[in-house]
Structure 1
Amino acid sequence: MSFVRTFAGDVSPNQLGFTYSHEHIVCRPPYWVEKGADDLLLDDKEKSQLDVLDFKRHGGRTIVDATAVDYGRDVAAVQQISNETGITIIGTAGFNKSFLWDAPMRDNLKQLVGNYETYHHWIEDKTVNQLADFVIQEVEQGLEGTKWRGGQVKFGTGYNRITPLEEKTLRAVARAHHETKAPIHTHTEAGTMVLEQIELLKEEGINLEYVSFGHMDRNPDPFYHEQVAKTGAFLSFDGISKIKYAPESTRIHCILELVRKGYEDQILVSGDTARKSYYKHYDYGLGLENIIAKWVPRFKAEADSLGFDGEKLITKFFVENPARCFTFKK
């Protein structure tokens, strides 16, 4: 039996439609709260919902909310947005990356995992299998003690390094995948350490066809991308609209290089929209509508001009590939 787990329950993969595969909708990351970094706090449910409605108005159907427990997700608010807009939303169990873990642990989580002061203390104290049990619970019972279950499991690593605690969460998430069959998503800081993540996942017996590696466009290296694609994994180009990192021409070139080499079935595209200044209804940014309304036509035009079928590729990246990537196969 194959299904996708969403805030509205388990659905057939063919129900997803046009999908953003990596976004953040409502979250208050404890690390950034502590630092007073207001731009990184998506803390107004109504404003986030307006951007989700913009996405829907242009034909969007599904959003993967990649906010893990240590990034201050608001499970109830995101579920309400899904319910009130009719947009399918997939939630995320697991972890992010180690530099966030020195922030104070939120009180509601302490009630579930014990009275730890920080995420670092919690992860350091628990065994790999105990952390795996927490992730399994979030997939099979509910995120942070709610009734809304996670639809993917996640871990992350830092820039050009994997700390011992990051390796610990990687192995915990891998073991949770074996138990639940939930798809795996990984955070890669600036697109680094993917090959090293792959080796650790192989040690845990993971079939890499169930894994999507994030932020591939932050490391715009076609040779590197091909090494990842050869494993059968999904590559997530999830920095669309962020010109400060690279022009869209660079991202499109890297994507089309993978297509040219035969990997079009392994590409995901999204925006990782995680700042007020990226959202239209918080701070006049490009908003959740930008990819579907403006980037997609631009990609089609460029792909067509180079002899590709732009329309077919857009259907691959936003409909067919997400439907396979986010499916539980039991």
Structure 2
Amino acid sequence: MSFIRTFHGDIHPSKLGTTYSHEHIVCRPPYWVEHSADDLLLDDKEKSKLDVLDFKNLGGQAIVDATAIDYGRDVLAVKEISEETGVTMIGTAGFNKSFLWKATIPEHLKKLTGDYKTFYEWIDAKSINELADFVIKEIEEGLEGTNIRGGQVKFGTGYNRITPLEEKTLRAVARAHHETKAPLHSHTEAGTMGFEQIELLKSEGVDLEYISFGHMDRNPDPFYHEKIAQTGALLCFDGISKIKYAPESTRIDCILELVKKGHEDQILVSGDTARKTYYKHYDHGLGLENILGKWVPRFIEEANQKDFDGKKLIDKFFVQNPARCFTFKK
């Protein structure tokens, strides 16, 4: 039996529809709270909801909220947005990257994490299997003690390095994946350490067709992308709209290069919209509407100019590939 696990239960993959594969909807990351980084706090449910409605009005049907426990999830707020807009949401169990773990664990999580001051202390104190059990519980019972079950498991590593605790969480997430069959998602800082993550995942017996590697467009290297794609993994180009990192032409060229090499079934597209200044209704940014409203038409035009079928590829990236990527295969 195959299904996708959402904030409102399990659905058949054919019901998912047009999907953004990596976003953040409502979150207050403890690390950024402690550093007074207001731009990184998506702390107004109503403003977030307005951006979700913009996405829906352009034909959007589902969003993967890639916010793990250490990035300040607001599970109930995201569930309410899903209910009030009709947009399907998929939640995330697991972890992010290690520098975030320096933050103090919020009081409302202490009942789950125990009497540790920081995420670092908690992760350091637990065994790989104990952390795996925690992740399994979030997939099978609910995120943060709710009855809202996670739809994917996530791990992350830093820029050009993997710390011992990041390796620990990677292995824990891999073991949780084996137990639950939940799809895997990787945070690669600036698109680095993909090969090294792959070797660790292989050592845990993970079939790489079950994982999506995030932030691939932060490292716009076609050779690197091809080598990752050859493992069977999916590549998430989730920096759309962020011109400060690269022009859209660079992202589109990298995507079309993968298509040319036969990997069109392994590409996901999203925005990782995690700042107030990226959101339209927080701070006049491009917002969740930008990808469907402006990037997709541009991509289709450029793809068609290069003798690809642009509309067919968009259906792959936003409908067919997410439906396969986020499926539990039991």
TM range (shorter): over 0.9
Q: How many angstroms does 1:112 deviate by? A: 1.2
- The 5 Å alignment of 1:173-184 reads 173-184=173-184
- The 5 Å alignment of 1:202-281 reads 202-281=202-281
**Residue equivalent to 2:200:** 200
Query: Deviation per CA, 1:158-181, whole angstroms, max 9, x where unpaired?
Result: 000000000000000000000000
1-structure distance, mates of 2:62, 2:315: 14
- The 5 Å alignment of 1:1-330 reads 1-330=1-330
Moved over 4 A (4+): none
Q: How many angstroms does 1:125 deviate by? A: 0.1
Amino acid aligned to 2:77? A
Amino acid aligned to 2:85? T
Amino acid aligned to 1:241? S
Identical columns (%): 78
Equivalent residue of 2:172, what SS? helix
TM-score normalized with structure 1 length? 1.00
2-structure distance, mates of 1:109, 1:94: 14
Q: How many angstroms does 1:106 deviate by? A: 1.0
1-structure distance, mates of 2:276, 2:221: 29
Equivalent residue of 1:186, what SS? strand
Q: How many angstroms does 1:210 deviate by? A: 0.1
Which is worse superposed, 230-239 or 111-120? 111-120
2-structure distance, mates of 1:123, 1:255: 36
Amino acid aligned to 2:134? F
Q: How many angstroms does 1:207 deviate by? A: 0.1
2-structure distance, mates of 1:43, 1:163: 30
1-structure distance, mates of 2:247, 2:157: 25
Give RMSD over aligned pairs. Answer: 0.3
Q: How many angstroms does 1:113 deviate by? A: 2.0
2-structure distance, mates of 1:102, 1:221: 32
2-structure distance, mates of 1:125, 1:18: 41
Structure 2: gaps (5+ residues): none
Equivalent residue of 1:220, what SS? coil
Amino acid aligned to 1:211? I
1-structure distance, mates of 2:164, 2:14: 39
Query: Deviation per CA, 1:124-167, whole angstroms, max 9, x where unpaired?
Result: 00000000000000000000000100000000000000000000
Equivalent residue of 1:25, what SS? coil
Q: How many angstroms does 1:70 deviate by? A: 0.0
